[in-house]
């Protein structure tokens, strides 16, 4: 995902696990120091999303303000031992 320095965008994922589990999902955009709850987009896709912002966006308007390149970490609150099958979690690059 390319994120403009002044933009806010939804980082949206479809998470595949074994065994299959659903929300609640959390993501960390700072190497596991801070975790943010995902939001269900409400379209029955099983996706989860987080509103992220570049460093020049209005502060306080997103769950995480990003700089540089970030590979988010994911975890499931109810089943922390669940293995995420699709390890291709997309990187976010602020440009």
Q: How confident is the model over 40-94, as pLDDT tens digits? A: 888 888 789 999 999 999 888 898 999 999 999 888 888 767 656 556 688 999 9
pTM: 0.85
Instruction: For CA atoms 30, 32, 36, 38, give the dihedral sign.
Output: positive
Residue 7 inside a domain? The answer is: yes
Give a yes or no: residue 77 inside a domain: yes
Domain of 27 in residue numbering reads as: 2-90
pLDDT score recorded for residue 21: 76
Residue 83 lies in a domain: yes
Q: Are 24 and 83 in contact (CB under 8 A)?
A: no
Examine residue 61 and state whether it is found in any structural domain, yes or no.
yes
Residue 45 forms part of a structural domain: yes
* Residue 2 burial (10 A CB sphere; 0-12, 13-18, 19+): exposed
Listed in sequence order, the residues at least 6 apart from 87 whose beta carbon sits closer than 8 Å to its beta carbon are none
> 95 in a domain, yes or no?
no
In a domain, 57, yes or no: yes
Query: Count of domains in the chain?
Result: 1
Does 27 map to a domain? yes
């Amino acid at each position: 995902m390319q994120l403009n320095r002044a933009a806010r965008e939804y980082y949206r994922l479809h998470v595949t696990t074994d065994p299959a589990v659903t929300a609640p999902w959390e993501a960390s955009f700072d190497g596991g120091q801070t975790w943010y709850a995902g939001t269900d987009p409400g379209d029955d896709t099983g996706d989860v999303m987080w509103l992220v912002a570049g460093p020049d966006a209005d502060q306080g308007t997103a769950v995480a303000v990003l700089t540089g390149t970030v590979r988010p970490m994911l975890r499931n609150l109810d089943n922390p031992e669940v293995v995420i099958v699709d390890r291709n979690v997309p990187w976010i690059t602020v440009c």
